[in-house]
Amino acid sequence: MSTGPARWIMHLDMDAFYAAVEQRDNPALRGLPVVVGAQPGGRGVVATCSYEARRFGIHSAMPIHEAHRRCPDAVYLRPRMAHYLEVARHIRAVMATCTPVVEPISIDEAFLDVSGLGHLVGPPETIGAQIKAAIRAAVDLTASVGIGPNRLVAKIASDFGKPDGLVVVPPEQVLDFLGGQPVGILRGVGRRTLPILQRLGLRTVADLRRLSLTQLQAQVGSRAAASLYQQARGIASDRVSERAARRSLSKETTFGVDVADSGVLRDTLRTLAAEVAAAARQETIAGRTVTLKIRFCGFETHTRQRRLPRHSDDARTLFAAAWSLYEAGHWQGKPVRLIGLGIADLGAPEPVQPDLFDGAAERPADNDRERRLTVAVDRIHARFGVGALHRGLSAADPVDPVDPARGRDDTPERPK
């Protein structure tokens, strides 16, 4: 007789997180289409939107002008990243009270190992309901939860139940559950692979199982075939680990339509720099290496890196380095599918050391004042939104003011 699965893995995903926070904070917005990101009339993209807005076909990473065309009466708000990060910390604190093994994936989702909690809490349905209720009580927001024997099944289950869902897939039901899912739900099935599978008449995961590994290899290559073959049969990792020391921090945006306008790319990259910098300050880390990631049509992808003189968590510094990498690539006018910015070689933020032979060097007092000003701006943005205050620049500074209000998708491939 079976004693039940050895592993229960939970995937928890907050519903339309940024937009949901805004609707929570302003009850007048509840039930209305809310779009968080760029402002209509400008450049930039949708960061995320409420489920009411999604009924109009609006989704993450959509150009803001297209979102406005589809729903001009929506409420368009600028992101408050510092505020969202603060809410996320409360949510993670709730997760930690439920199980000691929590692996954050992004600001609004995580994997949890809930194996062995049955004798303390109850069956998986009870565990999932309990954590959803605890999050609702703590931050007045809804989460979708999927629970299964591994990470793949848990994540697909949480997506399947959105919004405010709770889906448990026992091991004996995995094949039936996956079989009815569209083949595009599997990892690695994107713009290039999906048409290949569709031409073969493979619409669902069950259809995909009809192909042998050799047949799959002939169509998509050895590496992709091995992954799809295993996923279609519900084979995936069941390991969840507390996040080790972070090696890098990055954000990226995938555009719904390829973008060649350098102004849009510049604004988007500036937004990414602001978000990476804000997240770095929240974790008290800074980066010494700035990475630019850019993807064109046909999945042609390039990465470029620049090493900074010192560790930095300053958005203007990160943006300046990334934009110079873009310009050095001579990609102007080439349509871009995805653009991202990251930092690596992480360490503590470094004070600027004055050059004794440069009378114009920044003094320690000036550096300390700059740090305190940055912290103050973060707090104002968290409370009142990023539109409440903007940093000015000297005439000699070539970098535009950082305005993280232009929007991007924290999980660009799939709207929350």
370 catalytic? Reply is no
Q: Give the span between the Cα atoms of 56 and 70, in whole angstroms.
A: 6
CA–CA distance, 221 with 198 (Å, rounded to integer): 16
> Are the C-beta atoms of residues 336 and 259 closer than 8 Å to each other?
yes
Identify the active-site residue in 52, 103, 109, 275.
Answer: 109
Contact (CB, 8 A) for 228 and 209 = no
Q: Is the peptide bond before 5 cis (omega within 30 degrees of 0)?
A: no
CB atoms within 10 A of CB 153: 28
Task: Provide the annotated active-site residues.
Answer: 109
